[in-house]
Amino acid sequence: MMNRTRREEMVFQRPFSLKGWAEPQPAGIYAVETEEELVEGLSFPAYRRVSTTITRHATHAGALIQAIAVDPQDLARAQAADGG
Protein backbone atom coordinates (compact mmCIF):
# COMPACT_ATOMS: atom_id res chain seq x y z
CA MET A 1 0.00 0.00 0.00
CA MET A 2 1.23 3.48 -0.79
CA ASN A 3 1.42 5.97 2.05
CA ARG A 4 1.95 9.70 2.03
CA THR A 5 2.74 12.18 4.77
CA ARG A 6 1.29 15.69 4.92
CA ARG A 7 3.19 18.25 7.00
CA GLU A 8 1.98 21.62 8.23
CA GLU A 9 2.95 24.15 10.84
CA MET A 10 0.41 25.14 13.46
CA VAL A 11 0.88 28.35 15.44
CA PHE A 12 -0.61 28.76 18.90
CA GLN A 13 -0.72 32.30 20.27
CA ARG A 14 -1.56 31.12 23.80
CA PRO A 15 -0.82 28.01 25.87
CA PHE A 16 -3.12 25.12 24.96
CA SER A 17 -4.14 21.69 26.20
CA LEU A 18 -4.94 18.47 24.38
CA LYS A 19 -6.68 15.38 25.68
CA GLY A 20 -4.17 12.96 27.22
CA TRP A 21 -1.49 15.60 27.90
CA ALA A 22 -0.59 16.11 31.54
CA GLU A 23 0.01 19.85 31.29
CA PRO A 24 -0.75 22.79 28.97
CA GLN A 25 1.79 23.40 26.22
CA PRO A 26 3.37 26.80 25.62
CA ALA A 27 2.44 29.08 22.75
CA GLY A 28 4.60 28.62 19.69
CA ILE A 29 4.97 26.90 16.36
CA TYR A 30 4.32 23.17 16.22
CA ALA A 31 4.84 20.71 13.36
CA VAL A 32 1.83 18.51 12.59
CA GLU A 33 2.29 15.39 10.45
CA THR A 34 -0.58 13.29 9.11
CA GLU A 35 0.17 9.91 7.58
CA GLU A 36 -2.38 8.65 5.07
CA GLU A 37 -2.66 5.39 3.15
CA LEU A 38 -4.01 4.91 -0.34
CA VAL A 39 -7.41 3.22 -0.48
CA GLU A 40 -6.98 0.53 -3.11
CA GLY A 41 -9.59 -0.76 -5.52
CA LEU A 42 -11.16 2.59 -6.42
CA SER A 43 -11.20 4.19 -9.86
CA PHE A 44 -9.83 7.42 -8.36
CA PRO A 45 -7.10 8.12 -5.79
CA ALA A 46 -8.42 8.38 -2.25
CA TYR A 47 -6.53 8.36 1.05
CA ARG A 48 -7.51 7.57 4.63
CA ARG A 49 -5.77 8.93 7.71
CA VAL A 50 -3.59 6.46 9.55
CA SER A 51 -2.08 8.74 12.20
CA THR A 52 -1.56 12.37 13.20
CA THR A 53 1.32 13.56 15.36
CA ILE A 54 2.33 16.93 16.75
CA THR A 55 5.98 17.69 17.47
CA ARG A 56 6.94 19.81 20.42
CA HIS A 57 10.10 20.71 22.26
CA ALA A 58 10.08 18.91 25.61
CA THR A 59 12.56 21.28 27.26
CA HIS A 60 12.99 25.04 27.19
CA ALA A 61 16.44 24.56 25.64
CA GLY A 62 14.91 22.48 22.85
CA ALA A 63 17.28 19.59 23.52
CA LEU A 64 14.61 16.90 23.26
CA ILE A 65 11.98 16.78 20.54
CA GLN A 66 8.92 14.61 21.05
CA ALA A 67 6.31 13.56 18.51
CA ILE A 68 3.00 12.79 20.20
CA ALA A 69 -0.01 11.11 18.60
CA VAL A 70 -3.09 13.34 18.66
CA ASP A 71 -6.70 13.17 17.58
CA PRO A 72 -7.13 15.62 14.68
CA GLN A 73 -10.50 16.74 16.08
CA ASP A 74 -8.93 17.61 19.46
CA LEU A 75 -6.20 19.51 17.63
CA ALA A 76 -8.78 21.44 15.56
CA ARG A 77 -10.71 22.36 18.72
CA ALA A 78 -7.54 23.60 20.42
CA GLN A 79 -6.66 25.71 17.38
CA ALA A 80 -10.19 27.13 17.18
CA ALA A 81 -10.08 28.03 20.87
CA ASP A 82 -6.78 29.83 20.21
CA GLY A 83 -8.48 31.91 17.53
CA GLY A 84 -6.86 30.11 14.57
Averaged over 36-56, what is the pLDDT?
Answer: 91
pTM passes above 0.85: no
Q: Return d(Cα 52, Cα 29) in angstroms, integer.
A: 16
Contact between 36 and 53 under an 8 Å Cβ cutoff? The reply is: no
Tell me the domain boundaries of the chain.
8-35+51-82
Of residues 37 and 62, more confidently modeled? 37
